[in-house]
Every structure is written in structure tokens, then in C-alpha cells.
Amino acid sequence: MELNGKVALVTGAGSGIGKAAAVLFARAGASVGVLSHTDDEIRKTAEEITRAGGKAIPLVADVGDDAAMKKAVQRLAQEYGRLDIVFANAGINGVWAPIDELTPEEWDRTINTNLRGTYLTLHHAVPHLKKAGGGSILVTASINGTRVFSNAGATAYSCTKAAQVAMVKMLALELAKHRIRVNAICPGMIDTDIQDNTQSRNTEKAEEPAEYPKGEVPLTGGKAGSSDDVAELALFLASDRSKHITGTPVWIDGAESLLIG
């Protein structure tokens, strides 16, 4: 129960990494605000946690909506009286296409969700962390834009992920005096449903042919990592076990990015 007495906010908690982390945080003793833009989905996550004896409240908001995020964070802080852990995990792959075919609207949607969404989450949460006297912020970035640049057409997505890592490093220094740690998790191939919101269009036009050894994930012989694997890393970074770690991106990809970067 290493998070006993702590209050956590997890965005994108309706499925995948966010859901796995929220469930694990609750099992470790935290009261969790689980947030998604999909009402039915996030209520199921909250119900799963409470059925197992944990504490959770569902929060419905689009992470790119300023007013909605302010309201959601305020509700969580009022419900449990504090906020100690923020996992800014919500994100989309968006449209992957050659730069001359990627529309401004497609670019803006990816930036709005991944980058503006991270900014708004932290913008509204940080005052509560300061009031609590410290805490831990986690941001889900990616191997794309940080180690891997060979996924054709993923320019908008990769730019948001590179920017998230830069944000983490900037804020780690800015918030250190408030005893707030800030770290990034950079997953590779994980068994989530993020591909469901990926649209690929004519990416072959942007490809640079390459041949790699057999197996995209060397550590597992090509098998994807699990959301639970990432949740365990998130728990470590949220807990006092990582109390001297901040401003650090951690790649969790079974050496995938070392092979295909």
C-alpha cells in the first residue's frame, strides 16, 4: 500500500495504459480520479476499482478543453481534499500522412489532444500539488520523436512526443523547489487500442526502405509489451521509491527503439 493516503489523477484512464495504471494505483492505496472523454468507458474503470475495494471517481472531460479540465481537477481535489500524483497519459496517434498531404485540421487535432491536453492537465493540477507540499507528475510520451524517427507519416504525433519530453525536463527544474518530481514514460509497442484512433494515408510515399533483424521487440522476440508492464513503471515513478528521479524519460520498449530508430 505504498500510495496509501495519496490522491492521483489519471487521464486517458478508460482503457490501455491509463486504465492499468489507475487500477494499480488504487490497489496500492491511492484514491484515483479516472478521466476520459467517454462517459461509459470511464465509469466502467471507476466501478472496477470500487468493486475491488478501492476508491475512484469518474471524471468526464476532453483534455484539450480548458474549462472542462479545470472543472474535473477541481472536483477531484474537492472530493478527496488534495492531489499528489498526476499521470498525464491521454493521447492519440491521429493521422499519419506525408507532410504535404497532412491537413491543418489533422495536425491541430493531434497537437490539441497530445500537447495542449498535457499542458492543461498540468496547468490545472500543479497548484494542488504545490498545496500538498510536493508530488509526482508522469507524462506518457513515446519512442516516436524521442528515439525513433522511421515511422513514415508520424510527424505530428512525433512532434508532440518530443515536446512532451522537453516539457518534462523544463518542469522538473521549475517545480523542484516545490518538491514536485516530473518524469516521462516512453512506451514502444504496447498491447493497447491506440491503433483504433490512428489513420494512415499514403504513408508509403514518406517511407525510407530499411531492413531490420527478425523481431521488432528484441527482448520478447517481437511480442508487444503489456499495459500492466507500463503501469508497474508508472507506480514506481509515482511512489517514494523514485524520490530522487526527476526530469527523466524512461523508455519501456524491450529494446525496440534501439533496433528500429
Residues labelled catalytic: 157
Question: 7-11 and 55-60: which strand pairing?
Answer: unpaired
Q: Are 255 and 42 in contact (CB under 8 A)?
A: no
Instruction: In whole angstroms, give the CA distance from residue 179 to residue 189.
Output: 32
The three-class DSSP label of residue 207 is coil
Q: Are 94 and 197 in contact (CB under 8 A)?
A: yes
Instruction: In whole angstroms, give the CA distance from residue 109 to residue 185.
Output: 22
Count CB-CB contacts under 10 A for residue 114: 28
What residue type is assigned to position 225 of the chain? G
Instruction: In whole angstroms, give the CA distance from residue 56 to residue 61.
Output: 16
Instruction: In whole angstroms, give the CA distance from residue 193 to residue 78.
Output: 32
CA distances from 225 to 54, 199, 247, 251 (A): 26, 22, 24, 12
State the cell numbers at 107.
495536425
CA angle at 89 for the pair 129 and 133, rounded to the nearest 5°: 10
How many residues are present in the chain?
Answer: 261
E strand or H helix at 58, and its extent? Answer: strand 55-60
